[in-house]
């Protein structure tokens, strides 16, 4: 049974009913497209294509009600889906939310999730356009993101990295894993204040909207996001492209805050950098200079797999669902 924090009080889903709960969601994340059998999106720009992706988040597995606020859960659900849209070089335009929740869930908690979703989709000028609500044993969110891929350049698939190209990144690497390690050790209330940015990176990741579109417009060849782990995700690009990727240790070295957290926990910050996922940092390859907002972290080389300074990485595993 999920324990919801005491300050999410008031009537429950069971008391308010399906329609009352839907009203609370729509009030927190309003959209004129919502409320019919299906949502109709805007006319897309000429020559554009729609992009779609989906992710399911389960309480106790992908988030914990005692570690994250519902607003953060909503934010994270959007960022991880929108990062997949951006990783194609596309612009997120809409999200759908299917929720299963126990009847004892406070409506205020679901409203918090919707408010977090509204905040993040608003940053992208996107909308929560529809969804579904059902009672269930577990709190389960299933978010679908729809994006628009404009213009004639190809989408940024995983298979177009070529030897000699730069490997570039937009966003932090290893911060989400560090935040998770701190939460596991201290619980949310106990994490020392200076590590708040690491906890935020885990509970409410944020990506600057539009970096994927910029990367595609300025010549990136392949792109993904760091969802399962730096080495694992780059290895997917390497395998699909038939190349190797060599990371430069100086360019991915853990920042002082990571080092400090690792010392406190007796951990190795390189494990967070190399194997930690859920940063949703955009990872791309390009024949040119790093796109605006991206920094170089390595090179595409002949061969296969991912190396660091030419040697096997110290940690090469990553997140798997099971």
Residues of each annotated binding site for Mg(2+): 37, 53-55, 84, 132, 225, 228
d(CA 170, CA 285): 12
d(CA 138, CA 141): 10
Residue 292 engages a copy of itself in binding (rule: CB under 8 A): no
Residue 78 engages a copy of itself in binding (rule: CB under 8 A): no
d(CA 29, CA 35): 12
Judged by CB under 8 A, the residue of 24, 78, 79, 96 near a copy of itself is 96
Give the binding range for a copy of itself (CB under 8 A) out of 81-89, 181-189, 265-273, 297-305: 81-89
Residue 56 engages a copy of itself in binding (rule: CB under 8 A): yes
Segment 24 to 43, residues that bind a copy of itself, using CB under 8 A: 36-43
Helix (H, G, I), strand (E, B) or coil at 53: strand
d(CA 112, CA 305): 42
Residue 87 engages a copy of itself in binding (rule: CB under 8 A): yes
> Which distant-in-sequence residues (6+ apart) come within 8 Å of 36 by Cβ?
none
Give the binding range for a copy of itself (CB under 8 A) out of 58-66, 68-76, 115-123, 164-172: 58-66
Judged by CB under 8 A, the residue of 27, 50, 287, 312 near a copy of itself is 50
Helix (H, G, I), strand (E, B) or coil at 236: helix
Residue closer to a copy of itself by CB (options 135, 259) is 135
Please name the residue ranges forming H helices in 142-248: 175-190, 196-203, 211-217, 230-241
Please name the residue ranges forming H helices in 90-174: 107-123
Binding residue ranges: 37, 53-55, 62, 84, 131-132, 225, 227-228, 278, 319
Burial class (CB in 10 A: 0-12, 13-18, 19+), 81: buried
Rounded least distance, CB 121 to a copy of itself, Å: 14
- Structure tokens belonging to residue 221: 């060849």
Residue 23 engages a copy of itself in binding (rule: CB under 8 A): no
- Residues of this chain that interact with a copy of itself (CB under 8 A) are 13-14, 17-19, 36-44, 46-56, 58, 61-62, 83-85, 87-88, 90, 94, 96-100, 103, 129-138, 140, 142, 144-147, 149, 155, 157-158, 223-225, 320-322
């Amino acid at each position: 049974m999920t324990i919801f924090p005491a300050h999410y009080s008031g009537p429950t889903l069971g008391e308010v009913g399906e329609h009352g709960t839907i009203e609370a969601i729509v009030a927190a994340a309003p959209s004129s497209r919502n409320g019919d059998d299906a949502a109709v999106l805007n006319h897309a720009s000429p020559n554009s294509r729609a992009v779609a992706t989906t992710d399911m988040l389960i309480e106790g597995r992908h988030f914990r009600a005692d570690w994250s606020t519902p607003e953060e859960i909503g934010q994270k659900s959007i960022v991880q889906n929108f990062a997949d849209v951006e990783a194609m070089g596309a612009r997120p335009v809409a999200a759908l939310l299917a929720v299963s929740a126990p009847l004892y869930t406070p409506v205020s908690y679901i409203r918090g999730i919707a408010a977090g979703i509204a905040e993040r989709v608003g940053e992208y000028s996107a909308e929560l356009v529809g969804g579904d609500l059902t009672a269930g044993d577990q709190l389960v969110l299933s978010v679908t993101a729809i994006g628009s891929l404009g213009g004639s350049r190809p989408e940024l698939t995983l298979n177009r990295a070529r030897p000699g190209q730069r490997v570039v990144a937009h966003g932090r690497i290893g911060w989400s894993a560090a935040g998770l390690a701190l939460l596991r050790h201290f619980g949310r209330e106990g994490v020392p204040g200076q590590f708040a940015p690491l906890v935020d990176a885990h509970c409410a990741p944020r990506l600057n909207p539009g970096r994927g579109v910029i990367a595609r417009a300025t010549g990136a060849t392949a792109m993904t996001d760091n969802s399962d782990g730096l080495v694992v995700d780059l290895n997917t690009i390497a395998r699909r492209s038939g190349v190797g990727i060599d990371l430069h240790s100086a360019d991915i070295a853990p920042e002082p805050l990571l080092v400090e957290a690792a010392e406190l926990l007796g951990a190795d910050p390189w494990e967070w950098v190399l194997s930690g996922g859920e940063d949703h940092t955009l990872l791309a390859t390009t024949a040119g200079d790093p796109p605006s907002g991206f920094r170089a972290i390595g090179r595409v080389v002949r061969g296969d797999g991912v190396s660091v300074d030419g040697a096997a990485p110290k940690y090469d595993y990553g997140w798997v669902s099971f």
